[in-house]
Amino acid sequence: MSQVYEFSVEMTCSGCSGAVEKVLGKLGDKVENVRIDLENKKVFVTSAELSADQLLESIKKTGKNTSYIGLAN
């Protein structure tokens, strides 16, 4: 079953959010959906196969300050 994971990512511009989309895109079909809320510096990732820790490690590859918030409703 797919879960929606919520992360706080220090993003200030569309370039920042693009970097997040790029690293998550490299995970291929393991990631079903990525929604970025640039204004609130949040990233929502839908995945059935990856854990929060795995997703967190991928997002951290952008060099942005990132933390896992929890499962989104």
Cα–Cα distance measured from residue 36 to residue 43, given in angstroms and rounded to the nearest whole number: 5
Whether the CB-CB separation of 55 and 45 falls below 8 Å is answered with: yes
- Tell me, what's the pLDDT at 43? 98
Listed in sequence order, the DSSP H helices in 1-73 are: 14-25, 52-60
Residue 31 confidence (pLDDT):
98
Domain boundaries, the chain: 13-34+52-66
| pLDDT tens-digit map of 17-61 | 999 999 999 999 999 999 999 999 999 999 999 999 999 999 999
Kindly tell me if the per-residue pLDDT of 73 is higher than 90. no
Q: Is the entire prediction scored with pTM above 0.85?
A: yes
